[in-house]
Amino acid sequence: MSAVIDTHGHAHDHGHGGHPGGYGGIMRWITTTNHKDIGTMYLWFSFAMFSVGGVMAMLIRAELFSPGLQIVNPDFFNQLTTMHGLIMVFGAIMPAFVGFANWLIPMQIGAPDMAFARMNNWSFWILPFAASLLIISFFVPGGAPGVGWTMYAPLTVQMGVGMDLTIFAVHLLGMSSIMGSINIVTTILNMRAPGMTLMRMPLFCWTWLITGYLLIAVMPVLAGAVTMTLTDRHFGTSFFNAAGGGDPVLYQHIFWFFGHPEVYIIALPAFGVVSQVIPAFSRKPLFGYASMVYATSAIAILSFIVWAHHMYTVGMPVTGQLFFMYATTLIAVPTGVKVFNWVATMWKGSLTFETPMLFACGFLFLFTLGGFTGLVLSLVPIDIQLHDTYYVVAHFHYVMVAGALFAAFAGIYFWLPKWTGKMYNEKLGQIHFWLTMIFFNITFFVQHFAGLAGMPRRIPDYPLQFETWNKISSIGAFGMGLSQLVFLYAVVQCIRSGAKAPDKPWEGADSLEWTHLPTPVPYHTFDPQPDLR
């Protein structure tokens, strides 16, 4: 307790610190401007969307268990793949990390709350409406759009009203993200405690600062792309219609100018979480803090000039292909630096493997595998063979699931004691990790083989030679989906009846939320701010 005696956060615990001011019950959550409440809502929303998207994934894998059409028709299959992608990217992964940002950034920089507290409330409460639009689209005539999460023109023009609902949902999600990132950037730049210089911030804050800028830069681009789709559909424009002087490939350029930075919008906060967890369980400071910051910035800048590597088969001029190939392989350098730094942090540490560390190691191992297949795909001739096959599906699930999702799990188990004041059941956490790890690889590793052998992605039925891989992959997917019930149980059990957590349950954790605040954290913290000079 000695570390927390002198903090005002602790003093507040006796005053109004433990109580949300104003309303109780449901109105507390609707009207709240508290960063911790909003962070909690983001995280639960994200879990709900993760479950919805997961059920869709299992339906997809059920259809693909055997060749032939059994469970869903091809139209509905396309709707499922589209919505699985959109919901997982915009509904599950992105809100999860905004939830972490809300909870942690004020505590890690010694600020009392986020800079724009009311806007913070608004940026969360847009999300349920956006998600409802996406889900309602299944029930309108023609169903949800079956165009893939990339929404390529001109297929979008053939869709029913579900496409319009999806376009509006993307607008809303974009508004939410932009407001969220303006808030995060402003908070980090203006509200750090005295003495908390930028280069003293925990790496999680750094990765979010950079992610915030990426979001502000590219979400309007996506909004532009879907708005042009909307006017092409209804108002007679021809942005993406060659017959009217437009170009379908223009859509792909605009989409991927958003889409590639989006990959890092998802990955960078995950890097941030892992950069907090690995040093804590290695009992050793993060290796190469400054080079981590520079590498993160380099990745963010490079992410703006590599977008067309998603489009090697559209028929670019040879100079275009070479430029985007060289730029893409260049990203391997700063990404490599990060991986080496994490391994060097573990090197000669004093390691223990509680659940957060297990997930962080799982992240490091599998994300790097995804990085390697990324290197393979960055090379134009090989990509031309593998583009739009299951190899790509495997690659981006190694990056998105084993990357972002594993990091999110690591973060949840890591900070859950701080947030709730209670410990999760270590045994349950470990079971969750191993089940997820094993089933993830059963699901996705074999997809590399299916892709190499030539199985296209987004098909509801497939030739017989791909049957073995698809059977294995489907079994893995059901296993991985069911394993997440263990996670839900572990979290609920922790909140309801977990053992009381000490102020600093992790020996090696060293950021402000561990060293300067009690467990559980009071409702209001760091008001006034701590002096760290």
Site for another protein in 133-162 (CB under 8 A): 141-143, 146-148, 152, 154-155, 157-158, 160
Closest distance of CB 282 from another protein, Å: 7
Q: Single out the catalytic residue among 13, 37, 63, 113.
A: 113
Spatial neighbors of 490 by CB under 8 A, at least 6 apart, are 424, 425, 428, 429, 432
Examine residue 129 and tell whether it contacts another protein (CB under 8 A): no
Closest distance of CB 507 from another protein, Å: 9
The runs of H, that is alpha helices, within 25-73 are 25-31, 35-63
From residue 123, give the alpha-carbon distance in Å to each of 18, 68, 227: 25, 44, 21
Q: Is 457 a catalytic residue?
A: yes
Q: Is 23 a catalytic residue?
A: no
Find out whether 161 and 186 touch, Cβ atoms under 8 Å. no
Q: Is 335 a catalytic residue?
A: yes
Q: CA-CA-CA-CA torsion for 107, 109, 112, 115, nearest 10 degrees?
A: -120
Examine residue 250 and tell whether it contacts another protein (CB under 8 A): no
Examine residue 321 and tell whether it contacts another protein (CB under 8 A): yes
User: Based on CB atoms, which residue is closest to another protein, 4 or 339?
Assistant: 339
Q: Is 354 a catalytic residue?
A: no
Examine residue 114 and tell whether it contacts another protein (CB under 8 A): no
Binding to another protein in span 60-79, by CB under 8 A = 67-70, 74-75, 78
User: Based on CB atoms, which residue is closest to another protein, 460 or 522?
Assistant: 460
Distance from C-alpha of 7 to C-alpha of 531, rounded to nearest angstrom? 10
User: Based on CB atoms, which residue is closest to another protein, 101 or 442?
Assistant: 442
Buried-state track 330-361, b at ≥16 Cβ within 10 A, e below 16: bbeebbebbeebbeebbeebeeeebbbbbbbb
Spatial neighbors of 431 by CB under 8 A, at least 6 apart, are 486
Q: Is 283 a catalytic residue?
A: no
Total residues in contact with another protein, by rule CB under 8 A? 102
Closest distance of CB 419 from another protein, Å: 25
Closest distance of CB 510 from another protein, Å: 12
Binding to another protein in span 290-309, by CB under 8 A = 290-291
Examine residue 382 and tell whether it contacts another protein (CB under 8 A): yes
CA angle in degrees (0–180, nearest 5) for 394-439-45: 80
Distance from C-alpha of 86 to C-alpha of 171, rounded to nearest angstrom? 13
Examine residue 376 and tell whether it contacts another protein (CB under 8 A): yes
* Residue of 30, 242, 482, 485 that binds another protein (CB under 8 A): 242
From residue 532, give the alpha-carbon distance in Å to each of 49, 109, 526: 39, 10, 12
Examine residue 166 and tell whether it contacts another protein (CB under 8 A): no
Binding to another protein in span 424-443, by CB under 8 A = none
Distance from C-alpha of 165 to C-alpha of 130, rounded to nearest angstrom? 9
Q: Is 469 a catalytic residue?
A: no
Examine residue 330 and tell whether it contacts another protein (CB under 8 A): yes
CA-based nearest residue to 424, from 321, 352, 505? 505
Spatial neighbors of 334 by CB under 8 A, at least 6 apart, are 294, 295, 296, 298, 299, 302
User: Based on CB atoms, which residue is closest to another protein, 5 or 464?
Assistant: 464
Q: Is 391 a catalytic residue?
A: no
* Residue of 452, 486, 495, 532 that binds another protein (CB under 8 A): 452
Among the listed ranges 200-208, 263-271, 323-331, 477-485, the one in contact with another protein (CB under 8 A) is 323-331
| Active-site residue set | 84, 113, 149, 176-177, 260, 262, 264, 275, 309-310, 335, 338, 457
